[in-house]
Amino acid sequence: MAYTVLARRYRSAAFDQVVGQEPIARTLQNAIASGRVAHAYLFTGTRGVGKTSMARIFARALNAPDTIPNCPKPPGEHDYPERDVQDRMATAIMRGDDLNVIEIDGASNNSVENARQLIANAGLAPTGNARFKIYIIDEVHMLSTAAFNALLKTMEEPPAHVKFILCTTESHKVPATIQSRCQRFDFRNIPTKDIASHLRNVLTQEKVKGDDEVVWQLARLGNGSMRDALSLLDRLISAGEQPLTAQTLVQMLGLPPQQRISDLIDAMADGDVKAALEATAGLLDQGIAQDQLMEVLVERLRQLMLIRACGPDSELVEIADDARAAAGAQAARFDVQGLVYMISVCENLLRTAKASSNPRALLDATVVRLALAEKLADIAGLLAGNPAPASASGPASGGGPGASSRPAPSAPVYGEKKK
Ligand SMILES: Nc1ncnc2c1ncn2[C@@H]1O[C@H](COP(=O)(O)OP(=O)(O)OP(=O)(O)O)[C@@H](O)[C@H]1O
Ligand SMILES: [Mg+2]
């Protein structure tokens, strides 16, 4: 049998299975229960966060409510098809090929003729005793202006049996005239910890073993998108090595190994320019792209900053539990201002390196700057007539940038030492 990707096999089939979108699920269920279902909805949000899944579940709740446990129904008496018919409807809806739940790809059906066809079809009653005819228009922002205009009237006052669910990743491209005829729901990016726990469930059901670190890393790489995280997991599983490890993932994606990044940050905390440059060269020698190295470094520095600012147990700190202690120890070598400064220096490099004829030189200079920041601050202090402090202050131990406060990120002037 043909292999179905994880993202499709694990598509949410009920409101409470759409991870991270609970407020939207609740509002939609309340709308059904109170008999206040609008005639048009706009679902927006980044790719792979559950828009199409939620649209199908909503359609299923409207036409085949008995197939969803605890599914709300509108007040009053309503005729629904027999249970076996509802079951068939539900299966077809979740597959995306039900006769009354019509999924339209806005990108390839974007002409005014397509819109007119839709309008003509919407006038016909639903088949098989279904209550509603529901149009799910994906990528709706791809419709032409003429198509949008043709739809305006029907979207404002559709026949009683018609509902529209428009889905888009780019709501700003949907004309205001259409938006104002819809109830809008903004799907949020899914928090890393929620993606991680969903991935763990999938791994359990797939009977695949994987360590905590790999699950967190996949979740982080998903960047808020469940589909992206599941697709990466698919690739990793098909790489064949089990149990899954962060190391295999790093090799597969050509990412810098976490340990080496950690060594680089330690060298910076020590103010050890030689070790920092060697760690950087080692990473590049492994074939890591300069941009990627910087992006991963920035993300690590961000985690350290969050630990320093909010404590190691904060929910904002998105790392595996068993990596928390080590990250906490590393974070203690820096102060928040120092980390803010380091992130801004890295960001600056990401911007300027693209236009440079010698990006490697800029990278090396940045690494030196980060490792030497403390000493440069001393020199600036001396030049400004301040005596150099006897030793580093605060929890930091080394001579690196964390040992004392950093200059403000936007100003390349080295600031005062932390008291
Ligand atoms: N919130 C979520 N909870 C659980 N799984 C999800 C969620 N969002 C996405 N997925 C997974 O990703 C797959 C794709 O989701 P879906 O089609 O609903 O995303 P989408 O928001 O419509 O994306 P696109 O904008 O690319 O169309 C689903 O089959 C499911 O496996
Ligand atoms: Mg979709």
- Same domain membership, residue 30 and residue 174: yes
Tell me whether residue 418 is in a domain: no
- Same domain membership, residue 150 and residue 27: yes
Residue 246 CA to ligand 1 centre (angstroms): 24
The pLDDT of residue 304: 95
In the chain, which residues have pLDDT < 70?
1, 374-419
Residue 231 CA to ligand 2 centre (angstroms): 15
- Same domain membership, residue 249 and residue 305: no
- Same domain membership, residue 168 and residue 150: yes
Ligand with minimal distance to 168 CA: 1
Which residue's alpha carbon is nearest to atom 24 within ligand 1? 47
The pLDDT of residue 239: 85
- d(CA 140, CA 302) in angstroms, rounded, equals 36
Tell me whether residue 412 is in a domain: no
User: Which residue's entry shows tokens 């409470």?
Assistant: 16
Tell me whether residue 196 is in a domain: yes
The pLDDT of residue 401: 53
Contact between residue 6 and residue 35 where contact means Cβ atoms under 8 Å apart: no
Tell me whether residue 31 is in a domain: yes
Boundary of a domain, candidates 157, 186, 215:
186
Residue 191 CA to ligand 1 centre (angstroms): 14
Residue 263 CA to ligand 2 centre (angstroms): 41
Give burial (CB, 10 Å; 0-12/13-18/19+) of 127.
exposed
- Same domain membership, residue 153 and residue 66: yes
Boundary of a domain, candidates 132, 167, 186:
186
Nearest ligand 1 atom, CA 190: 1
- Same domain membership, residue 99 and residue 57: yes
Residue 142 CA to ligand 1 centre (angstroms): 19
Q: CATH number, domain at 366?
A: 1.20.272.10
What does the block give as tokens for 339? Answer: 């980390």
- Same domain membership, residue 263 and residue 217: no
What does the block give as tokens for 183? Answer: 């109830």
- Same domain membership, residue 167 and residue 69: yes
Residue 105 CA to ligand 2 centre (angstroms): 9
Strand order in the sheet with 101-105: 101-105, 133-138, 162-168, 40-44, 183-186
254's CB contacts (< 8 A; 6+ apart) are 287, 288, 289, 292
Tell me whether residue 415 is in a domain: no
Q: What is the pTM of this model?
A: 0.79
- Same domain membership, residue 237 and residue 277: no
What does the block give as tokens for 176? Answer: 């205001």
Tell me whether residue 410 is in a domain: no
Pocket test for ligand 1, best of 49, 140, 186 (most atoms within 8 A of CB): 49
Contact between residue 341 and residue 369 where contact means Cβ atoms under 8 Å apart: no
Nearest ligand 1 atom, CA 7: 31
Nearest ligand 1 atom, CA 198: 4
The pLDDT of residue 377: 56
Boundary of a domain, candidates 253, 283, 302:
253
- Same domain membership, residue 204 and residue 179: no
**H or E stretch including 60?**
helix 51-63
Residue 406 CA to ligand 2 centre (angstroms): 44
The total number of structural domains that make up the chain = 3
Which residue's alpha carbon is nearest to atom 27 within ligand 1? 47
* C-alpha dihedral, 44 to 46 to 48 to 52, nearest 10°: 10
Tell me whether residue 413 is in a domain: no
- Same domain membership, residue 274 and residue 226: no
DSSP conformation letters of 113-173: HHHHHHHHHHTSPPSTT-S-EEEEEETGGGS-HHHHHHHHHHHHS--TTEEEEEEES-GGG
Pocket test for ligand 1, best of 22, 52, 233 (most atoms within 8 A of CB): 52
The pLDDT of residue 387: 52
Tell me whether residue 411 is in a domain: no
The pLDDT of residue 359: 93
What is the greatest pairwise CA distance in the chain?
87
Q: Give per-residue pLDDT as tens, 17-37.
A: 999 999 999 999 999 999 999
Q: CATH number, domain at 119?
A: 3.40.50.300
The pLDDT of residue 313: 85
Pocket of ligand 1 (CB under 6 A): 7-8, 10-12, 18-21, 45, 47-53, 138, 167, 169, 190, 198, 226-227, 230
Q: In 3-state terms, what secondary structure has residue 67?
A: helix
Ligand with minimal distance to 48 CA: 1
- d(CA 74, CA 35) in angstroms, rounded, equals 5
What range defines the domain where residue 377 resides?
258-403
- Same domain membership, residue 49 and residue 157: yes
Q: CATH number, domain at 248?
A: 1.10.8.60
